Amino acid sequence: MPDPFVVVGGDAAGLSAASKCKREAPDREVVVFEKGQWVSYAHCGEPYFVKGEVDKLEDLLSLTPEDIAERDIDLHRGHEVVAVDTDAETVTVEGDDERYEQPYGDLLLATGARALTDPIEGSDRDGAFAIHGLDAAAAARAYLLDPAEDALADVGGEAFVDAERVERYGAMEPPETVAIVGGGYVGVEMAEALTAHDLDVHLFQRSEHVLTPFGEAVAGVVEDHLREQGVALHLNTEVARLRGADGRVAALECTDGTELEIDMAVVGVGVEPNTNLVEGTDIDTGESGAISTDDRGRTSTEGVYAAGDCAEDRHTVTGEPAWVPLGLTANRAGRAIGATVAGDPTPTGDIAGTAVVKAFEQECGRAGLLPEAAAEAGFDPVSETITAGSRSGYYPGAAETTVTLVADRESERLLGGTIVGTDRAAVRIDILATALEGDMTVGELERTDLAYAPPFSPVWDPVLVAAKVLHGRL
């Protein structure tokens, strides 16, 4: 019997690995340490919880601690791993007023990522939130409530929630004006969530466009749509600090000197991998700063794996390391590592950087490399953008759908693309994700026999129209 499989971090990657290992090798001891109280929760659902479309915090849990116990996983919540000794093959654990060494046979680092707040001075003021974690989401929703309502009952999650913080925010007068700092996923989703609460919503983006990873064609459509929905967009505008009195946020100040009175702020300027634990060890990190892994999730150190938002994967198109902290990647890599440590070597799979985001009614998708990244990776990118209908023009519900495709000039290989539209646009990005996994050329994509029926697609799906136009240019 080998030493236990020890997992650091009890969210998507960690618990996927623990569960899969237990399923494949029921006799193997599996120990999971989670420094917080929450485990196995749906981070991506937080904006919809703040919006109110998700009722209670516990709805966002994939597994309860009871489910985990039933799987015979030895879960320790409120226990932080503070050091790794790869020679002794132990981790140092702190929790319940004790500190001890835990030996491991295999070790998985699944420590996730943390929201960047340092760039914005004053992000720690009351009324300012980084929507990263259920406690922050709970506090934000409590803040939006009328003080006469029972905030703790409203947010749920009683066994885990930071009750003091929820009650403190619940007692405050609800905010009226919010500044969202950063126009990425969280920023755009929170603009929708807070507009639904009738707040006056201002979105600040340092660069020229929101949703940078989705490219300009998507950004243009989304920006028009955000404005139509009443969001005040401040593009090319860098936020310097959040100011206020008594520790509260009361104003936002931009680097150009303009100011805005606010009573709430959402700071979503990015995340960084939690890699403190590997500093000073022989576990390598990559250029991104995240932990380097091979195609089975193994780090540079024997017996140590990494997965999820703290780890790099390989990019489907370039074959090079890439750090794209998203949910499927974490779950899939965790599951594969769980199988591997149970004796069934399994590849973690590559990542195409496939992502979708809802911006009010607009559905946005992206996959692979857009022109700038493609050029950096040594390709000679050619790109075309088209707009076509989502259904037969005569069928009710047809909506404009904008597709961008990028290909390599010489090999004609598809490198990536984006999509935006209100009618089933998001799911269509999976066509590109699949074509990227299959190393397809634009010509092959153009000749793919996609589905056609008037309620669902025109004869030439927007993706095929884009492939036709791009192929014609190659």
Tell me the pairing of strands 239-243 and 251-254: antiparallel
Nearer to a second copy, 136 or 419 (CB): 419
Tell me the pairing of strands 106-109 and 304-306: parallel
Q: How far is the CB of 87 from a second copy (least distance, A)?
A: 34
Nearer to a second copy, 88 or 453 (CB): 453
Q: Which of 44, 254, 310, 364 is catalytic?
A: 44
Exposure b/e, 206-242, CB count within 10 A at least 16 = b = beebbbbbbbbbbbebbbebbeebebebbeebebbeb
Q: Which two tokens stand for residue 347?
A: 């590849």
Q: Percentage helix, strand, coil, to 5, in the chain? A: 30, 30, 40
Nearer to a second copy, 164 or 449 (CB): 449
Confirm if 36 and 77 have CB atoms less than 8 A apart.
Answer: yes
Alpha-carbon gap, residue 288 to 291, rounded angstroms = 8
Nearer to a second copy, 235 or 324 (CB): 324
Q: Where are the alpha helices (DSSP H) in 350-416?
A: 371-376
| CA 176 to the chain's CA centroid | 28
Nearer to a second copy, 220 or 347 (CB): 347
Alpha-carbon gap, residue 34 to 8, rounded angstroms = 7
DSSP 8-class letter at 135: H
Nearer to a second copy, 301 or 390 (CB): 390
Return the closest-CA partner of residue 297 out of 286, 306, 310, 284: 306
Residue 16 phi, psi (nearest 5): -65, -45
Q: How far is the CB of 246 from a second copy (least distance, A)?
A: 36
> Is the dihedral angle over the CA atoms 287, 297, 65, 40 positive or is it negative?
positive
Nearer to a second copy, 144 or 317 (CB): 317
Confirm if 274 and 114 have CB atoms less than 8 A apart.
Answer: yes
Q: Which two tokens stand for residue 48?
A: 């919809």
Confirm if 200 and 176 have CB atoms less than 8 A apart.
Answer: yes
Q: How many residues does the chain have?
A: 474
Confirm if 283 and 303 have CB atoms less than 8 A apart.
Answer: no
Return the closest-CA partner of residue 401 out of 221, 189, 184: 221
Q: How far is the CB of 107 from a second copy (least distance, A)?
A: 24
Nearer to a second copy, 337 or 463 (CB): 463
The set of residues, in sequence order, having a beta carbon less than 8 Å from that of 142 and lying 6+ positions away, is: 151, 154, 155, 165, 166, 167, 169, 170
Alpha-carbon gap, residue 219 to 447, rounded angstroms = 29
Q: How far is the CB of 418 from a second copy (least distance, A)?
A: 12
Q: How far is the CB of 382 from a second copy (least distance, A)?
A: 19
Q: How far is the CB of 448 from a second copy (least distance, A)?
A: 4
> Ramachandran region of residue 383, left (φ > 0), alpha (ψ -120 to 50) or beta?
beta
Nearer to a second copy, 154 or 263 (CB): 154
Q: How far is the CB of 19 from a second copy (least distance, A)?
A: 13
Instruction: Establish whether 44 is a catalytic residue.
Output: yes
Q: How far is the CB of 45 from a second copy (least distance, A)?
A: 5
Positions in the binding site for a second copy (CB under 8 A): 12, 42, 44-45, 48, 53-54, 59-60, 316, 326-329, 331-332, 347, 349-358, 363, 365, 367, 392, 394-396, 424, 426-431, 433-440, 444-457, 459-461, 463-464
Q: How far is the CB of 378 from a second copy (least distance, A)?
A: 21
What number of other Cβ atoms are within 10 A of residue 78's Cβ?
A: 12
Confirm if 49 and 137 have CB atoms less than 8 A apart.
Answer: yes
Active site residues: 44
